[in-house]
Structure 1
């Protein structure tokens, strides 16, 4: 995607996200030509969409849309993804006892549910739903629980592909949120005066914000690598690096902004809350660390060494 097209697309998204009375859905975005842009440059369009919706603090159902679309030719496609929450979901013979949250505003017909390393499409009829305010009410989360009949089982490759794509999408969200927190903190320290000098002139403040920039730049590199090869390993690494960059940005931004950073009127908390929720989706940082470590250990066991050029 060239810079001119990206600039126009970004302006369109910002107008839709900010000026509309109601947040648009993916179907409405496609009416504006988003599907054509995605076909031309899927990675660039996805990157732009998730970063812009994150900073605007809106939810258009993009995560579910992309994960379900990635399932491709599955016999039965769900219309929403169930994300882990509460006690989690568990398999019981020909049904799944579900407990999680959905982000899609659409009426639930069927759900994509992951149980351990298996994934199923289950019927949503008869399930209990309730609105969840949670940490970030702007997400429009609904908690879903109950016993659901299994409609179809997904093969491991299809689920792995959908999970990896979802993680790459969330990586772009948290990188954008980390950058938004950095920009807010940077602007704050440049405008505030302490002992006759701007806060940005103090070395301790510079070091804290430098740590944030390093974390963001590192996450950007990993996200680009994940978008390039789309492997499960690099997708997990991308989300982990993005989650960590958002964590560093939140901690250091709160420090350099002082008491102002903790106030409701200061926008920092809105980015922080969304980033924390993103960390809980499709693998928390500690879970991703274990998964990545296990994958690397398995690869080492399989090839016998790290530096075998023949393998």
Structure 2
């Protein structure tokens, strides 16, 4: 069986990378840090490019691709630290009018946390009494819903990545919002392994980005008369980062094909570990300069921490894998 990407999939990944290089380069990332507001124009550009409608059938105005292709797209989004509730809006496309086109920003309550609540037009899930909390990631503002325990299980992806009936959690109400004011109830979408897997894909993209950053720095930084990449300890750090990234990527890609909830949980575990540990090792390779605000390493580490807690944290993923074994 051949698990290599098809030519169309490689073209898709290359096209998304070029699109994001134009829409959200490093200069845009640093500008977003100075003014952490969601860029609505960027959101609409993503919608026009098919970012949110990627898995919708063509007859419904979508691109007509599957979950494996969505994983490739979200990996690229994670690589550049694209901000905003991307996964929630993508999953809502086709169910919430305007989400597919990027005209609406959709967020959801997950694990008792709600990202980008003040910027969202539609909120999925019960968020009564949500209070702002200080987020470790400057580009992921958070609210916490008091007394909420995270939903259980990744849920089955079902055939072709579609959520199965068995994966549907109890329904709650969200609210369509205009200027921050609730205007209409919105039936909550089922929480499935799709959202978990796309979050894991973002983590893989981030793990790859910091690996590339570490290798680039190790090739250029000179100490004691030679580049630091020549030191065995640095070589080992970079090699470990590569192994973690490739293992996580293989697990995420495989789960996108099988749709197995246990494989989704395992992929999330591996992706969270790759993103967080690689960012830490990247800091070590950079040395003192890696801890400065001007370096981007800390941004990847902080986003990885937040993603790890927003959907299927490690403890639940471990229980899901253990139950499957």
TM-score over 0.5 (shorter chain): yes
Where does structure 1 lack aligned partners over 5 or more consecutive residues?
73-78, 86-99, 113-121, 148-153, 297-311
- Hey, what's the Cα distance between the residues in 2 that align with 1:239 and 1:44? 15
- Hey, what's the Cα distance between the residues in 2 that align with 1:223 and 1:24? 30
Q: Aligned pair count?
A: 257
- Hey, what's the Cα distance between the residues in 2 that align with 1:170 and 1:36? 17
Q: TM-score, normalised by structure 2?
A: 0.69
Q: For residue 158 of structure 1, what is the aligned residue in structure 2?
A: 168
1:227 lines up with 2:256 in the alignment: yes
- Hey, what's the Cα distance between the residues in 1 that align with 2:49 and 2:93? 19
- Hey, what's the Cα distance between the residues in 1 that align with 2:144 and 2:42? 20
Q: For residue 7 of structure 1, what is the aligned residue in structure 2?
A: 14
Deviation at 1:6, TM superposition (A): 3.5
Instruction: Describe the SS at the equivalent of 2:139.
Output: helix
Q: Deviations over 1:125-147 (max 9, x none)?
A: xx344444410121233334599
Aligned partners of 1:237 and 1:292 also within 8 Å: yes
1:285 lines up with 2:314 in the alignment: yes
Instruction: Describe the SS at the equivalent of 2:301.
Output: helix
Q: Deviations over 1:156-175 (max 9, x none)?
A: 42349743111110111111
CA distance 1:282–1:210, shift in 2 (3 Å): same
Aligned partners of 1:10 and 1:48 also within 8 Å: no
CA distance 1:271–1:80, shift in 2 (3 Å): closer
Per mean C-alpha deviation after superposition, the further-off stretch among 254-263 and 171-180 is 254-263
Aligned partners of 1:192 and 1:199 also within 8 Å: yes
Residue in structure 2 matching 1:82, options 99, 106, 109: 109
Where does structure 2 lack aligned partners over 5 or more consecutive residues?
1-7, 33-38, 56-62, 97-105, 149-163, 171-189
Residue in structure 1 matching 2:217, options 188, 202, 206: 188
Deviation at 1:43, TM superposition (A): 2.8
1:215 lines up with 2:248 in the alignment: no
Q: TM-score, normalised by structure 1?
A: 0.71
RMSD: 3.1
Deviation at 1:71, TM superposition (A): 8.1
Q: Give the structure with the higher percent helix.
A: 1
Residue in structure 1 matching 2:303, options 274, 282, 300: 274
Q: For residue 46 of structure 1, what is the aligned residue in structure 2?
A: 70
Aligned partners of 2:9 and 2:69 also within 8 Å: no
Q: For residue 277 of structure 2, what is the aligned residue in structure 1?
A: 248
Q: What are the residue-to-residue correspondences of 1:29-68 with 2, within 5 Å? A: 29-34=46-51, 37-38=54-55, 39-68=63-92
Q: Give the structure with the higher percent strand.
A: 1
Per mean C-alpha deviation after superposition, the further-off stretch among 265-274 and 247-256 is 247-256
Deviation at 1:178, TM superposition (A): 0.9
Instruction: Describe the SS at the equivalent of 2:218.
Output: helix
Deviation at 1:28, TM superposition (A): 4.7
1:167 lines up with 2:191 in the alignment: no
CA distance 1:132–1:107, shift in 2 (3 Å): farther
Residue in structure 2 matching 1:107, options 111, 117, 121: 121
Aligned partners of 1:175 and 1:220 also within 8 Å: yes
- Hey, what's the Cα distance between the residues in 1 that align with 2:268 and 2:315? 12
Instruction: Describe the SS at the equivalent of 1:101.
Output: strand
Q: For residue 94 of structure 1, what is the aligned residue in structure 2?
A: none
